[in-house]
A and B are shown apart, each in its own frame.
Chain A
Amino acid sequence: MTTETRPPHPPTTTSRQPAWEHHDVLDLDDFSVAEIETVLNLADRMREILDRRIARVPALRGYTVVNLFFEPSTRTRASFELAGKVLGADVLSLTANTSSVVKGESLIDTVRTLRAMRTDAIVMRHSMGGAPYLAAAHTDASIINAGDGAHAHPTQALLDLYTMRSHFGDLHGKRVVMVGDISHSRVARSDMWGLAAMGAEVVLCGPPTLLPRGLRASDRPAHAESALPAVTIETNIDHAIEGADVVMALRLQSERQQGGLLPSLHEYARLYQVTEERLAKAHPGYLLMHPGPKNEGTEIATDVASGDNSTIEEQVTNGVAVRMALLYLLSGRTEAPGEPSSEVRA
């Protein structure tokens, strides 16, 4: 394993210390339930800081975070930037270009250079699956995966879990339905791991052309049964939504139609759009989620996106809190982050 050469994880000092073994956040597949709870519990405290009149504490003073984005992003980048700033970290955002990689400035060079400048954490968004793993294997700065290709988006998954938990308390046995382009969705992949760990029932719904192979345990050899989370596959959205506690619509990119995966966006909307009428079959008190940015009128109807059950904006706020919690945990700092005594005076 490439991480063998890495320095050991920050030690967990006492048994009262919350569970946390991570030097990087690459995906949720290697998170224990206890670690997920550590993040979510700390995010509660961060959410409280965030909601203060003056949302600024010095908990990460002297900690340097670089947002290294090889792919355009507004919300994730802003979310990390604010998360770092609220905690008093120095945050630098770089928009890198994948073509510079091809031209010879390798990803490895880039992360090593940033580390040489004493960067503590690199938040990375990349169009290619696995790029953060390559980075993590070649630097001892903490790498946070802010989305890699179609592979993973662990901070999105954590904020989704946080949002669900804040409504339901316990996710055990909750029916969570993700609808849309599962094949190309890093959100769905990371959510699957987190939801399965927390005991939720995961239902994936989409047209067969947008469902990746091997998701059904029966499509894998026996020894690999646990190699992906247990999920249910459903191509009929009405069946999928029946009794759902959470319905999450995924962004559908118009390229899928040009790529021959869909006859038309119109037909997609007719077959898979999350609508008021379809949501009538969901469990009362259901949550309607979307990782954004959303295409209203395609994967989600406008009225439900802004309806009473929608948590879309709440997810955005929670995203900042969850990312604050992650940065704080990765920093290895242990004093309580939001004590009034440590607050910066306005």
Chain B
Amino acid sequence: MTTLAIHNGRVIDPALGRDGIADVVIVDGRIARIGPNEGDMVVEAERIDATGLVVTPGFVDLHTHLREPGFEYKETIATGTLAAARGGYTTVCAMPNTSPPLDSRASIESVLREAEHSALVRVLPIGTITLGRAGKELSPAGELFRSGVVALSDDGDAVADPNLMRHALEYSTQFGLPIAQHCEDPALVRDGVMHEGWVATRLGLRGRPASAEEIMVARDIALAELTGAHLHICHVSTAGSVALIAAARERGIHVTAEVTPHHLTLTHEEVAFHTDFRTVDYITNAKVNPPLREETDLAALGIALRDGIIDCIATDHAPHASMDKEIEFELASPGLTMLETSFALSMKLVHDGTLTLPVLIDRLTSGPVRAWGLDRRTGLEGLGTLAPGALGDVALLDPNAEWTVEPREFASKGHNTPLGGRQLRGRVVATIFGGRVVHETDRVVAL
């Protein structure tokens, strides 16, 4: 029997409605006790002093690109899950835009096998909506479902054909699988490379209008209503999308949504400017799809996250190698490496008063679990909570610790972030997965 006792932290578990000083005791990988001084009741234990720290369930990410198989030069399951652990994540849902794409039982099983060997945290696979992500024919959803996928997505691309999307949604209902859509209408996006607005105008770059996202959000909401399926909107980025999702939920349509830390906190100005407006640059590390938008969008996204119109924060962790980013802006691959900065960047919304800390923690833990019914879907009871009997997945946080982002020190192979050199406030001090410490900083004090 192995016991880990986490003493005297501020335990925030939104699912249990708990927020107060308590001890958390993990025995044999599961939460055994939680409450004031409970740690003192156990005799033989490894002990961590969490005085002054916040203790929460391990974070859950619905949107992670682990890049394996096929793009191991960008990331592997081993490096991606180490990055997850560093970011406080104990469960990540792996997007299927690998090579080959995860559109068959064989490919799902190979990912699960590799994860069993090399993953530091839990990996839950997502299958493709269409074969080869080509947007032409449906993937074998039943076979994928039985192999253990938790959702279907062609992320990176939208399912453009409305008729095929309708059928994908309809077919998924028999398995209750969420269909996670990357909403951007390719006919409107065309060859745009950043948000359509004044920054694109100054840079002479072609834009991707906000309406390209909103049209597809509206379309897919209508299709979800028609089919009764579960539609999940990936990385919502515009105020217009927020309004559409709010209205759909009001009408009782089964729509869930996620937002990334970067869409919540960074604008399209990141693409062009380092310090002032005098001169420009073409910052490929801020290139992402959907693109970084405007202040008004950020404000609407923050409020929607607070109000639960957006269910959760998802990282869209998209690691790339320098050869994918140190090229002409138009040719650069889209995406940010995000797992290791997700908590700190999201903490901006707590520091600026948009969210309370417990609400932020909900959107990182029980929010995503609720959105996809991940606990019931996977049989992982208590996922995203610290309920006795639940998995011993815990994050230890220092919400006020300041640190400087140094991409070269990332565990992720991807150093592609526009945050390099910036000071962020909020730090993941330690991560515990199944009762085992998988990440710790020198801030952790063993007793």
Which residues of A are in contact with B by a Cβ distance under 8 Å?
1-2, 26-27, 29-30, 101-102, 106-108, 126, 128-131, 133-134, 148-152, 186, 189, 212-215, 219-221, 224, 226-228
Binds A, one of B10-18, B278-286, B305-313: B278-286
Minimum distance in angstroms from B139 CB to a CB of chain A: 30
Residues from chain B with a CB closer than 8 A to the CB of A101 are 327-328, 331
Residues from chain A with a CB closer than 8 A to the CB of B197 are 213-214
Give Cα A117–Cα B205 distance, bound, in whole angstroms: 32
Minimum distance in angstroms from A324 CB to a CB of chain B: 25
Residues A30 and B326 in contact in the complex (CB < 8 Å), given A149-B204, A213-B196, A221-B294: no
Residues from chain A with a CB closer than 8 A to the CB of B146 are none
Give Cα A325–Cα B250 distance, bound, in whole angstroms: 66
Asked if B201 and A129 sit within 8 Å, CB to CB, the answer is no
Residues from chain B with a CB closer than 8 A to the CB of A134 are 282, 326-329
Contacts of B265-287 to chain A: CB distance below 8 A: 269, 274-275, 277-282
Residues from chain A with a CB closer than 8 A to the CB of B199 are 214, 227
8 shortest A-B CB distances, which residue pairs?
Answer: A214-B198, A151-B204, A130-B282, A150-B204, A129-B204, A212-B201, A227-B277, A30-B279
Give Cα A227–Cα B203 distance, bound, in whole angstroms: 11
Asked if B280 and A27 sit within 8 Å, CB to CB, the answer is yes
Residues from chain B with a CB closer than 8 A to the CB of A186 are 204
Give Cα A302–Cα B205 distance, bound, in whole angstroms: 32
Give Cα A280–Cα B105 distance, bound, in whole angstroms: 74
Which residues of B are in contact with A by a Cβ distance under 8 Å?
196-207, 269, 274-275, 277-282, 294-295, 323, 326-331
* Residue with the greatest number of chain A CB neighbours at <10 A, chosen from B204, B279, B294: B204
Asked if A130 and B196 sit within 8 Å, CB to CB, the answer is no
Residues from chain B with a CB closer than 8 A to the CB of A30 are 278-279
Give Cα A152–Cα B204 distance, bound, in whole angstroms: 8
Closest to A1 in B: B274
The one of B203, B207, B274, B328 in contact with A107, judged by C-beta atoms closer than 8 angstroms, is B328
Give Cα A244–Cα B173 distance, bound, in whole angstroms: 65
The one of A126, A130, A215, A219 in contact with B203, judged by C-beta atoms closer than 8 angstroms, is A130
Residues from chain B with a CB closer than 8 A to the CB of A126 are 328
Closest to A152 in B: B204
Minimum distance in angstroms from A138 CB to a CB of chain B: 8
Closest to B206 in A: A150
Asked if A133 and B331 sit within 8 Å, CB to CB, the answer is no
Residues from chain B with a CB closer than 8 A to the CB of A130 are 203-205, 281-282, 328-329
Residues from chain B with a CB closer than 8 A to the CB of A221 are 294-295
Give Cα A215–Cα B202 distance, bound, in whole angstroms: 9
15 A-B residue pairs with Cβ-Cβ distance under 8 Å, sorted by A, are: A1-B281, A27-B280, A30-B278, A102-B331, A106-B323, A128-B331, A129-B329, A130-B204, A134-B327, A149-B330, A150-B206, A213-B196, A214-B199, A215-B198, A227-B199
Give Cα A151–Cα B327 distance, bound, in whole angstroms: 17
Apart from A130-B281, A149-B204, A227-B199: 16 A-B pairs, beta carbons within 8 A? A29-B278, A101-B327, A106-B323, A107-B327, A108-B327, A128-B329, A130-B203, A130-B329, A133-B280, A134-B282, A150-B206, A151-B204, A189-B202, A213-B207, A214-B198, A214-B200
Give Cα A213–Cα B199 distance, bound, in whole angstroms: 9
Residues from chain B with a CB closer than 8 A to the CB of A102 are 331
Give Cα A212–Cα B207 distance, bound, in whole angstroms: 10
Asked if A129 and B205 sit within 8 Å, CB to CB, the answer is yes
Residues from chain B with a CB closer than 8 A to the CB of A26 are 279
Closest to A30 in B: B279
The one of A27, A151, A220 in contact with B205, judged by C-beta atoms closer than 8 angstroms, is A151
The one of B204, B294, B327, B328 in contact with A189, judged by C-beta atoms closer than 8 angstroms, is B204
Give Cα A108–Cα B207 distance, bound, in whole angstroms: 25
Minimum distance in angstroms from B206 CB to a CB of chain A: 8
Give Cα A1–Cα B283 distance, bound, in whole angstroms: 9
Residues A108 and B277 in contact in the complex (CB < 8 Å), given A215-B201, A219-B198, A221-B295: no
Minimum distance in angstroms from B204 CB to a CB of chain A: 3
Asked if B201 and A2 sit within 8 Å, CB to CB, the answer is no
Residues from chain A with a CB closer than 8 A to the CB of B202 are 189, 214, 227-228
Closest to A148 in B: B204
Asked if A108 and B326 sit within 8 Å, CB to CB, the answer is yes
Give Cα A131–Cα B206 distance, bound, in whole angstroms: 14
Give Cα A186–Cα B201 distance, bound, in whole angstroms: 10
Residues from chain B with a CB closer than 8 A to the CB of A29 are 278-280
Residues from chain A with a CB closer than 8 A to the CB of B201 are 212-215, 228
Residues from chain B with a CB closer than 8 A to the CB of A227 are 198-199, 202, 277
Residues from chain B with a CB closer than 8 A to the CB of A1 are 274-275, 281
Closest to A150 in B: B204
Minimum distance in angstroms from A195 CB to a CB of chain B: 16
Give Cα A106–Cα B197 distance, bound, in whole angstroms: 29
Closest to B326 in A: A108
Residues from chain B with a CB closer than 8 A to the CB of A224 are 198, 269, 277
The one of A131, A150, A214, A220 in contact with B328, judged by C-beta atoms closer than 8 angstroms, is A131
Give Cα A115–Cα B431 distance, bound, in whole angstroms: 48
Asked if A129 and B330 sit within 8 Å, CB to CB, the answer is yes
Minimum distance in angstroms from B279 CB to a CB of chain A: 4
Minimum distance in angstroms from B323 CB to a CB of chain A: 8
